[in-house]
Chain A
Amino acid sequence: MSVLEIIIALPLLAALAIWLGAPARAASLGATSINLILVLYTAVQYWGKTGLAFTYSRPILENPSLSFAVGADGISIILALLTTLVMLAAIWQIHDRPAIFYVSSLLIGGGALGAFLTTDIFFIYAFHELALIPTFLMIALHGRAEPAYRKAVAWKATIYLGVGSLVLLAGLVWLVLEFSGGSKLTFDLEALRSQAKLNPLPDSKQAQIFFVLLLGFGSLVSLFPFHSWAAPAYATAPTPVAMLHSGVLKKFGLYGLIRIALPLLPHGVHVEWVQNALLLMLLGNILVMGLVTIHAKRLDDTLANSSVMHMGYIFLGIAAGTDIALKGAVILMFAHGISIALLFGLLGRMRNQLGTLEYNKLGGLANHAPAFTVLFAFGTFASIGLPGLTNFAGEVLIFLGNFTEFKAGGLTHLQWTVILALWGVVMSAVYMLRAYRSIFHGSPATGLFMIDPALSQRVPFIMLAATLLVTGCCPWLLLNLMKSAL
């Protein structure tokens, strides 16, 4: 028995208990609080260590070899920390909603924890699918729009993510079959990794498989041009689902690329055609989606589109593939998860109290809701990448990680992409600051009134904002968990 198994099982058991009649709020808050403590405990235990820890394996089938194997390294722990923080905040801020809100939040969070903490490809994939189902159901059933529209949005997301998952499955099966040339078929990530070290595949094959995996994982992370499901889904999703999916679950695709694709296919991303394709797609995320976001007229559209846009930077870290850039990518995954969850959580409160999110109808909210404004400012400035908040640390590491080597013949494609991508930072500043100004500053709009949430309702948001500040000022807290090269 490993502590990780408890961490995975707790939310799922709590969800089952609620379905069978346990009090929803108490059970889910209790389970997530214990989970947060357990994850912090693993982080402390892992502090300064390298390699895979807390491993435990329960064999299921001999050949094809399949086992329920758990294990965590720095990335897994950071993402588990992200999951438990966002899950606690998302569940805490639920107010006056049926039990299914708690159940689905627990299932999404539990599925994500399972995906991040297991080391068997079968279960990594399976847990992610488990988390996707409640996401679709909640958008379709309790989304913030007309039934016909929200169902259409949910189906669009289902189709994109479903097809993406199938492409991913095909890529994973291909990968597993390529590495089991002998007489044993295994899904165990560690076994596959040692295989990949011993007999790496030829570069051209690596490139092909990497590309399939990129398409599969990429569509789960709304990689341009497979992104069009994401913005409407986030804008429509109920608040806890939007927080959990954009904050946590979406990171699964990136995690998969870093944990599965890069170590097993180390040359795949550096083969020229794959890299050029990836750079083009991520520039689409940053520049095209940046322009789309600037033109958004409502806060939910701005946030939803910005969440798609910011994925581009993380892909940039993956495209570089250097140690520094990958560490930056992981930190940015954490930072983006916390900041977007904070913003979506606050957005949910605004939608409930004001009934509208259109910029030209809002204004001057800071007058009556100062605490709310400060919290929102944290999210805004983190999003822009202000130094002192975590996002900055991640972005800087990614940008620097692309400039560790210089070629004689001038800048590489990668470095040109970084220079173009920097303009995205400017665009982020434009749309986030404009959103902030038109909502909180200026003269109050008539008929719209908003007050600060009660102190107990501020706790989840304060927790997220404090996380941004602490890890932003001391990014070594996270970097110390990633001592081993990725």
Chain B
Amino acid sequence: MSVFTIEAGLALLGLALLLLEALKPEISRRTLGLTAIAGTTLALVLFIFAPHDSASQPAFIQPWHQLDSLAIFYKGFALVITILVLWLTLECAPYLTRFTVDGKLAEMFSLPLIVCAGMMWMASARDLVTVFVALELVTVSFYVLVAFARKSAFSLEAGVKYLILGALSTGVLVYGIAWIYGATGTMSFDGIAKALANPATSKTTALFGAAVLLCGLGFKVAAAPFHMWVPDVYQGAPTPVTAFLSVGSKAAGFVVLTRALDAFLVEGSIIGSEIQALLLVVGSLTALLGSLPAMFQTSVKRLLAYSSISHAGYLLLALACRESARFDLSSGGIVAFYLATYLPMTVLGFLGLGLMRANGLGEDIKDFTGLAKRNPLLALLMTLSFASLAGLPLTAGFLGKLFVFLGLADHGYWGALSCAVIAAAAGFYYYFKTILAMYTTEGTDVPALTFSVPAKAVAGALALAILILGVYPKPLQSVLTGKSQAHKVDSK
């Protein structure tokens, strides 16, 4: 079975579940949820055993669809995060249904499948049209998911904000694509790279197009100055959706960015130095504007939203560092590795938040007070998640940051490096403020927290992943050194 068939099948399964729920309303949410999880898991298994080369794809799709190591990595990534989000939705269902109109969660189980198909499709995109279609598939589904808890004013507000800004950024993106097409006469990344390496191409037009396109993508990955929607949307959206946005949507944005930048920064590109400088400035700003305001947040969910902005900043800085002569880390590889480590720690953090919410607690730092006494295991796991997000050595988060910093130091981008270091230092402050609260004991005679065995198992597995990747990143070695095919072809 080809990878493309799996993707299409996943989208069809999503549609089927949607119809099933509409035609047979009495079907229980457990059945729906478990079907969705089983379907995605099956897709993951099939994907692992499917042939991983472009030639095995149906012929009609090959001009638009590529399967290099980056695409394979992101497809697996999309499947894993979707399974986790579906499971988290099921786990948080008793709490979430209080905010939905008819006490149901139907689309919460079918839309993530469609999002997943979109993300997988996007990872393989070879041209801007495919990117656009896949991106819209993802974004439109997210409009619904963010506003899903319709009885909650926060969720509605988040939905409206996300819709308006998302639609606006889509417009900007299309505008950028149009300019690029105007400058280069093509939509495919290969063609764009070739045209940009040709000095005869109009530099102003191409640069304007690329800059506008990056603005559009900047919205999607929450790069400064287009990051202001993130705190409100992340805070308002149901927790599983927030985790999905924070990990899945961000990864999807970055795979597109990696592809686009491989073309824009191709060797001899006429707009290379400008785009590089833009990336450094935007990356530094994003890291700082995410990290510094996070220090003053009292809601942990909002804090995680700001922190996710600063992580986007590090990722942008990683993209600005092209290949190094001194070590085998490609910028796309560092980004992929960073995202792979970002997945377990972020999902674990949101999982903890979701479980606390399910136990009737809020999301403020003061709700974390005495967590170590109420549930030592949960406190330990959340500590691990936050420590890794902060970038504590021996956790996965440290390696990702170290690679980014090494790349910056290697290229001598000292200004950007200092911004990143300041942001990381601020990160230590706000994460450890939360950790400290968990172990504070005064004034806590509240009942113990409980959570289910599967929740323990999933959280434990995520924590294990954080620890193992922190000291033994070898399983991801191929990801780290992997270069996207487009770049290799072009640089010849």
Contacts and interface: CB of A to CB of B under 8 A. Distances in A.
Interface of A: 19, 60-64, 68, 100, 122, 125-127, 129-130, 133, 136-137, 140-141, 147, 151, 154, 158, 162-163, 166, 169-170, 173-174, 177, 180, 182-185
A64 B327 contact: yes
Contacts of A62: 328, 477
B473 interface: yes
Given A133-B392, A183-B326, A173 B439 contact: no
Nearest to A173: B409
Nearest to B441: A141
B436 A141 contact: yes
Given A60-B474, A61-B477, A141-B441, A185 B392 contact: no
Given A125-B393, A162-B428, A166-B421, A177 B474 contact: no
Contacts of A100: 439
B376 interface: yes
A60 B472 contact: yes
A398 B413 CA distance: 42
Contacts of B398: 126
B318 interface: no
Contact of B393 (A19, A130, A180): A130
Contact of B432 (A126, A141, A158, A170): A158
A170 B474 contact: no
A177 B393 contact: no
Contacts of A162: 425, 428
Nearest to A177: B409
Given A162-B428, A169-B405, A173-B406, 4 more contacts: A130-B392, A141-B436, A158-B428, A170-B421
Contacts of B326: 64, 177, 180, 182-185
B131 to A, nearest CB: 32
Contacts of A158: 428-429, 432
B394 A126 contact: yes
A64 B394 CA distance: 17
B425 A141 contact: no
A129 B380 CA distance: 17
19 contacts: A19-B380, A60-B474, A61-B473, A62-B328, A63-B328, A64-B329, A122-B393, A122-B402, A129-B393, A133-B392, A136-B432, A158-B429, A158-B432, A166-B421, A166-B424, A166-B425, A173-B406, A177-B410, A184-B327
Nearest to A174: B409
Contact of B435 (A137, A147, A163, A180): A137
Given A62-B328, A170-B421, A129 B392 contact: yes
Contacts of B102: none
B327 to A, nearest CB: 4
B359 interface: no
Interface string B270-309: 0000000000000000000000000000000000000000
A183 B325 contact: yes
Contacts of A166: 421, 424-425
Contacts of A154: 436
A314 B110 CA distance: 66
Interface residues of B, number: 35
A25 B200 CA distance: 76
Contacts of A127: 393-394
A91 B394 CA distance: 25
Contacts of B329: 64
B20 interface: no
Contacts of A141: 436, 439-441
A177 B407 CA distance: 10
Nearest to A136: B432
Nearest to B435: A137
A174 B421 CA distance: 14
Contact of A126 (B393, B410, B424): B393
Interface string B455-480: 00000000000000001111001001
Contacts of B410: 177
B472 A133 contact: no
A140 B421 contact: no
Nearest to A132: B392
Contacts of B392: 129-130, 133
Given A125-B393, A129-B392, A183-B326, A64 B406 contact: yes
Given A63-B327, A130-B394, A166-B424, A173 B436 contact: no
B409 A137 contact: no
B265 interface: no
B214 interface: no
B387 interface: yes
Contact of A68 (B424, B425, B471): B471
Interface string B170-197: 0000000000000000000000000000
Contacts of B445: none
A173 B425 contact: no
Contacts of A182: 326
A158 to B, nearest CB: 7
A174 B408 CA distance: 11
Contacts of A174: 409
Contacts of B26: none
Contact of B327 (A122, A173, A185): A185
A170 B474 CA distance: 25
A60 B471 contact: yes
Interface in B205-241: none
A-B pairs, 7 with minimum CB distance: A126-B393, A185-B327, A64-B327, A129-B393, A126-B394, A63-B328, A185-B326
Interface in B397-438: 398, 402, 405-406, 409-410, 421, 424-425, 428-429, 432, 435-436
A25 to B, nearest CB: 18
A106 to B, nearest CB: 15
Interface string B305-328: 000000000000000000001111
Given A126-B398, A137-B439, A163 B409 contact: no
A304 B270 CA distance: 62
A149 to B, nearest CB: 14
Contacts of B480: 61
A62 B481 CA distance: 10
B222 to A, nearest CB: 25
